[in-house]
Amino acid sequence: MKILVALDRFGDKLSSHEANVYIEEGIQKAAPGSQVIKVPLFDGTKDMIDGVLQWNRGKRYHWNVLGSQLQQKRATVAGIDKRLFIDCATLFDDVTELQQTSSAGLGQVILNGLDLGYDAFTVALGHTTVMDGGIGMLELLGARFYDLNGQQLTGPLSAADIKRIREIDLSSLDDRLSTSTFTVVSDQSYYLFGRNSHVASFTLNAEAQQVIDNNIWYLNEQFKKIDINLTEPAFGGDGGGLRAVFSAVLSAEVMTSKEMIFKETDIEALLEEADMVIFGGGTEHATKGSLVSQAIMEHSKQDKIFLYLTAGRQLPSDKATIYHFNIYPEMTEQTQDIQIGIQLQNTVMTLINMYR
Q: How many Cα neighbours within 13 Å face the side chain of 76?
A: 13
pLDDT in tens, 275-314: 999 999 998 888 888 888 888 998 888 889 999 999 999 9
Indicate the SS3 state at residue 185: strand
Tell me the C-alpha distance between 325 and 310, whole Å.
6
Spell out the domain ranges in the chain. 2-39+265-355, 48-258
Architecture of domain 2-39+265-355: 3-Layer(aba) Sandwich (3.40)
H-helix or E-strand spanning residue 47: none
Asked if 147 and 166 touch (Cβ cutoff 8 Å), the reply is yes
Q: Report residue 283 CA to chain centroid gap.
A: 16
Calculate the alpha carbon distances from 168 to 70, 119, 173, 230, 266 in Å: 22, 25, 11, 14, 43
Please state whether beta strands 276-287 and 305-314 pair in parallel, antiparallel, or not at all (unpaired). Answer: parallel
The top-level CATH class assigned to 48-258 is: alpha beta
Using CA atoms, how far residue 190 sits from 25, 187, 195, 239, 287, in Å, is: 40, 9, 9, 9, 18
Provide the 3-class DSSP secondary structure of residue 262: helix
pLDDT in tens, 26-82: 999 999 999 999 988 875 555 788 888 888 889 999 999 999 999 999 999 999 999
Phi, psi for residue 256 in degrees, rounded to 5: -80, 165
Burial class (CB in 10 A: 0-12, 13-18, 19+), 228: middle
Edge-to-edge strand order for the sheet containing 276-287?
Answer: 35-38, 2-10, 276-287, 305-314, 322-328
Who's near 113: CB < 8 A, 6+ residues apart?
77, 79, 84, 86, 121
- Which CA distances in Å does 289 have to 51, 281, 300, 348? 18, 7, 16, 19
Between CA 45 and CA 128 the distance in angstroms is 9
DSSP state of 23: H
Give residue 51's pLDDT.
82
Which residues in the chain show pLDDT less than 70?
Answer: 43-46, 94
